[in-house]
Amino acid sequence: MSRHEGSRLNRWVSWLPLRVLVTAGTLCLFVATARDACAQVASVAGNVTDEKGNAIPRARVELENQASVATDSAGSFRINDVTLGRHKLTVRQIGYQFADTVIEVTAGGAPVHVVLRRNIAALSPVLVLGNRQGLFGAVGADRTFLPLPNARVRVIGVSSNIMTDSLGQFAIAIARPGAYVLRFEHAGFASRALSVNVDRNEAKELLITLKPSTESDARVQREWQQFDSRTRMKGLNAVMVPGEELAATGNRRLSEALLHSGSFSIKNLRLGQNACVFVDGEPRPGWSADAFSVDDILAVEVYGRRGELTNTLASRWPSGIPCVGGAPPIVRLSEAEKKLQVEMIAIWLKH
């Protein structure tokens, strides 16, 4: 290129607006000069485990001034487009000591392996649960992963007002294996509920994060308290089926999942069309029980004749409105079977 041509090119480049061009791992910023500034970038990948080499899922991995990601079910993570050089890497998870380290980011660098150590006073499931099946773990704040002492942990229909300790930890012995619904609450944070399955002689760990929230919904709290009371005081013709058990049937329609679930089948109840449907505690006249996919359901309460003893559902159904939201019967019901017909279905959705 001649000097004259180079001068013309420089004058043309000087009038270009700010542009960003990313090619082959190079980030180039073209500014209003003939020179450009380019910064090399690379990806940072690795995994997070405990001291025994067990993968730690949902751990928060942060590169200072770069990005933040969560580990997957195998404890692996990947952060793309990281500028080359030295960076501070922080890894956090509830129930573990935070890990801070400085890494050198290079093109084609080796994977990063981070080991998190348990909190010194972490609960021992063997000591706490006494070699029985149960649930243990910790509750912390989202993003910061700081522990939340005095968080309330409810196992619906089993126990209530279990409070986390100073490290946000809890432990609950479960008498019978099976699926359960849990709810976690703390002032200043949005409550969270989930369905879990506990196998025989299993001590299952739960690491729960709650998001900060200034909203307080007394109605929702009341609905959950009534849900807990109904499950504790239910009659013989009643059952609560957690979403975990429904999903295990492989059916997406609620009526089919109920028919194939062990908890419902053992009650010998009959699904019919004349069932009142409630969603998150609210009556929904005309709604079908199959309006929701099993994937969206946290739990389902099912009540036959004299099954709902608290009257907190029936008393809320609009007067004079028929219950037509059940599911078509598989076969015609006899007079004896009609006494076992489902009268109310209360669906709790995941949020």
Strand partners, 118: 96
Report the pLDDT value the prediction gives residue 16, as an integer from 0 to 100.
Answer: 41
What pLDDT is stored for residue 161 in this prediction? 74
Pairwise CA distance, residues 29 & 36, whole Å: 6
Question: What are the sequence ranges of the domains in the chain?
Answer: 3-38, 46-115, 125-216, 220-349
Q: How far apart are CA 261 and CA 242, in angstroms?
A: 10
Asked if the domains at 125-216 and 220-349 fall in one CATH topology, the answer is no
pLDDT of the chain, 351 residues: tens digit per residue: 555 554 444 444 444 443 333 333 333 434 333 333 445 889 999 999 999 999 999 899 999 888 889 999 899 999 999 989 999 999 988 888 889 999 999 888 889 999 998 876 555 554 455 556 888 889 999 888 888 999 999 999 886 578 998 889 898 888 888 889 999 999 999 999 999 988 888 888 898 999 998 777 788 889 999 999 999 898 889 999 999 999 999 999 999 999 999 999 999 888 877 889 999 999 999 898 899 999 999 999 999 988 999 999 999 999 888 886 555 554 465 666 667 889 999 999 998
* Rg, C-alpha atoms of the chain: 28
Q: Provide DSSP, 193-247.
A: EEEEEE-TT-EEEEEEEE-B-----HHHHHHHHHHHHHHHS--TTEEEEEHHHHH
Q: Please say whether the dihedral angle defined by the alpha carbons of residues 91, 49, 154 and 254, taken in this order, is positive or negative.
A: positive
CA 47 to CA 111: how far, in whole Å? 8
- Residues 157 and 214: their CA atoms lie apart, in Å, by 28
Superfamily of domain 46-115: Carboxypeptidase-like, regulatory domain (2.60.40.1120)
Please state the three-class secondary structure of 322-343 as a single string. Answer: CCCCCCCCCCCCCHHHHCCECC
CATH no., domain 220-349: 2.170.130
Q: Would you mind telling me the total number of residues written for the chain in this entry?
A: 351
Q: Which pLDDT score, from 0 to 100, does residue 326 have?
A: 56
CATH (one of 2.60.40.1120, 3.40.50.720, 3.40.50.620, 2.102.10.10) for 125-216: 2.60.40.1120
Q: Is the pTM of this model over 0.75?
A: no
Is residue 258 helix, strand or coil? Answer: helix
Q: Which pLDDT belongs to residue 18?
A: 35
